[in-house]
């Protein structure tokens, strides 16, 4: 789960995802993060969420947000690589298809691997 969060934050920083997408992923997966008990993932999610709130309240600007997120990624990636030694990919998306299409350049279908889809 930590890796998926890192991928979403990184996707926002490089422009693959919007802030709305990142926020939507956090909201959709926060309980799962808490249930897994990964303290590193929980701390990262809390920090990212707090910074998004500060941005929304105009306490920081987007430049500060990006600097903080980059700092978090440096720390979290070091922890992740030292424990797993591997990386995979994940998809970070929100429930709003219009927002995703307007802000994400790759318009391939988004599949949430944590949702069970009915058989066709």
Q: What is the pLDDT of residue 76?
A: 78
Q: What is the pLDDT of residue 93?
A: 55
| pTM of structure | 0.66
pLDDT, mean of each 10-residue run, the chain (120 residues): 93 96 95 92 94 96 96 77 46 46 45 52
Residue (of 26, 31, 7) closest to 80 by Cα position:
7
CA dist 92 to 7, 38, 59, Å? 8, 19, 26
Q: What is the pLDDT of residue 84?
A: 45
Q: What is the pLDDT of residue 91?
A: 58
Q: What is the pLDDT of residue 86?
A: 44
């Amino acid at each position: 789960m930590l890796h998926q969060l890192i991928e979403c934050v990184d996707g926002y920083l490089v422009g693959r995802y919007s802030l709305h997408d990142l926020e939507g992923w956090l909201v959709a997966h926060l309980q799962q993060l808490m249930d897994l008990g990964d303290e590193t993932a929980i701390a990262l999610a809390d920090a990212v969420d707090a910074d998004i709130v500060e941005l929304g309240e105009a306490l920081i600007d987007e430049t500060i947000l990006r600097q903080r997120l980059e700092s978090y990624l440096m720390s979290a990636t070091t922890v992740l690589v030292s424990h797993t030694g591997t990386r995979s990919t994940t998809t970070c998306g929100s429930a709003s298809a219009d927002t995703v299409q307007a802000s994400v350049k790759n318009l391939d279908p988004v599949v949430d691997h944590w949702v069970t889809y009915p058989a066709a």
